[in-house]
């Protein structure tokens, strides 16, 4: 049994909070550059230039890519052969507080959804824990801004729906979102599970590398069909019109009940941020 001190978890989460907010995943930054070259609209190309300048400025000035540094979503893959010395959830939240305070990141979390009092340290985090084989801990911090989060949707469909109807639901969700999620976007789609797990799948999908397609051919083809359908909307970069509204669509699927087919859409802005580390 391998022991890991809670302090190590705290420090790792703090570091990832800052890293995710200052530096995009390399594959996403590369995709933004690729999409910039593909954009056919003059206005869209101009917007892409501004977005790329912003990414470079964040690096050179050591400041967040976006002013909305998000609510901290933490995915933890906890090895079953690890013993944590101290409180795990407490360590995660202390890490978020440390990262957002010492990293001078905007604190956007309120303690109660109706009373709206800011917690002043961006805690608590949204924490998803999965127990896996081994003696390692993989932590992924995905700061989620709410300009894009507010545009999300979930629909409890029936098993009789066609793939075209699923594509239409995803496309309509993006259409209604318009410029609000700061396109070009990354779209996470969850298919299956139940009500709450379907939403989790869509959020998890946003943390998949944009270069990696779903390993199942049917879903990989569905990702491309959804991407084509979304880009046919013509919303374009930042809503100024163009051929690139979405840069990627990632689908995660799971078993479901014989009577249901839940589908969820979680939209990520052009800076769909996440950073990971293995302890």
Considering the domain architecture, whether residues 174 and 96 belong to the same structural domain is answered as: no
- The verdict on 134 and 194 lying in the same domain is no
Are 7 and 18 found together in one domain?
yes
Question: Rounded to the nearest 5 degrees, what angle is found at the Cα of 87, between the Cα atoms of 139 and 71?
Answer: 50
Asked whether residue 139 falls in the same domain as residue 162, the answer is no
Using a cut of 0.85, tell me whether the model's pTM lies above it: yes
d(CA 14, CA 149): 22
pLDDT at residue 88, rounded to an integer? 97
Torsions phi, psi for 110 (to 5 deg): -105, 145
Please give the distance of CA 56 from its chain centroid, rounded to a whole number. Answer: 21
**What is the side-by-side order of every strand in the sheet holding 275-278?**
126-132, 71-79, 137-144, 275-278
- Give phi and psi for 277, each to the nearest 5: -155, 145
Query: Does residue 86 share a domain with residue 159?
Result: no
| C-alpha–C-alpha distance, residues 206 and 72, integer Å | 14
Does residue 1 contact residue 85 with C-beta atoms inside 8 Å?
Answer: no
Same structural domain, 124 and 167: no
Does residue 255 lie within any of the structural domains? yes
The residue behind tokens 């705290």 is: 10
What backbone phi and psi angles, to 5 degrees, belong to 209?
-55, 135
State whether 123 and 165 are in the same domain: no
Asked if residue 100 is part of any domain, the answer here is yes
Q: Is residue 34 part of a domain?
A: no
- Residue 140 inside a domain? The answer is yes
Do residues 13 and 134 both lie within one domain?
A: yes
Residues 82 and 183 both lie in one domain: no
Q: Are the CB atoms for 226 and 170 separated by under 8 Å?
A: yes
> Residue 101: its pLDDT value, please?
97
In a domain, 51, yes or no: no
- What's the domain count of the chain? 2
**Does residue 15 sit in the same domain as residue 105?**
yes
Domain boundary among 144, 159, 189: 144
Pairwise CA distance, residues 128 & 36, whole Å: 34
- The radius of gyration of the chain from alpha carbons, rounded to an integer in Å, stands at 19
| Residues 138-169: b if buried by 16+ CB within 10 A, e if exposed | bbbbbbbbebbbebbbbbeeeeeeeeeebbeb
Tens-digit pLDDT profile for the chain (279 aa)? 899 999 999 999 999 999 999 999 999 999 999 999 999 999 999 999 999 999 999 999 999 999 999 999 999 999 999 999 999 999 999 999 999 999 999 999 999 999 999 999 999 999 999 999 999 999 999 999 999 999 999 999 999 999 999 999 999 999 999 999 999 999 999 999 999 999 999 999 999 999 999 999 999 999 999 999 999 999 999 999 999 999 999 999 999 999 999 999 999 999 999 999 999
Instruction: Report if residue 278 sits inside a domain.
Output: no
Distances (CA, A) of 30 to 46, 135, 220, 260, 274: 17, 33, 21, 38, 15
For residue 105, which phi and psi values (nearest 5 degrees)? Answer: -95, 145
Question: In this structure, are 128 and 151 located in the same domain?
Answer: no
Same domain, 233 and 190: yes
Q: Which of 144, 170, 196 is the last residue of a domain?
A: 144
Nearest C-alpha neighbor of 44 from the set 52, 32, 36: 36
The pLDDT of residue 127 is 98
Longest dimension (CA), the chain: 59
Q: Is residue 36 in a domain?
A: no
- The answer to the question of residue 58 being in a domain is no
Domain boundary among the residues 115, 144, 173 is at 144
What pLDDT, on the 0 to 100 scale, is given for residue 115?
A: 97
Query: What integer pLDDT is reported at residue 1 of this predicted model?
Result: 87
Tokens of 14: 């703090």
Find the domain containing 130 and state its range.
2-22+65-144
């Amino acid at each position: 049994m391998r022991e890991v001190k809670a302090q190590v978890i705290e420090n790792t989460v703090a570091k990832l909070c800052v890293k995710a907010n200052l530096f995009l995943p390399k594959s996403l930054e590369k995709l933004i550059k690729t999409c910039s070259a593909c954009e056919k609209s003059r206005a869209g190309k101009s917007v892409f230039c501004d977005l790329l300048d912003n990414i470079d400025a964040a690096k050179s000035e050591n400041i967040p890519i976006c002013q909305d540094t998000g609510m901290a979503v933490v995915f933890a893959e906890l090895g079953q052969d690890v013993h944590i010395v101290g409180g795990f959830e407490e360590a995660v939240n202390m890490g978020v507080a440390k990262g957002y305070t010492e990293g001078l990141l905007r604190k956007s979390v309120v303690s109660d959804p109706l009373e709206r009092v800011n917690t002043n340290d961006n805690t608590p985090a949204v924490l998803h824990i999965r127990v896996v084989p081994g003696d390692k801990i993989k932590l992924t911090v995905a700061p989620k801004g709410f300009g894009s989060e507010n545009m999300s949707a979930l629909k409890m469909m029936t098993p009789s729906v066609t793939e075209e109807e699923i594509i239409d639901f995803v496309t309509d969700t993006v259409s209604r979102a318009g410029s609000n999620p700061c396109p070009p976007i990354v779209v996470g789609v969850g298919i299956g599970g139940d009500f709450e797990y379907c939403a989790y799948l869509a959020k998890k999908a946003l943390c998949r590398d944009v270069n990696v397609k779903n390993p199942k051919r049917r879903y990989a083809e569905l990702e491309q069909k959804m991407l084509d359908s979304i880009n046919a909307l013509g919303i374009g970069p930042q809503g100024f019109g163009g051929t690139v509204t979405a840069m990627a669509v990632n689908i995660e699927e799971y078993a479901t009940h014989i009577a249901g087919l839940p589908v969820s859409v979680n939209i990520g802005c052009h800076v769909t941020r996440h950073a990971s580390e293995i302890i």
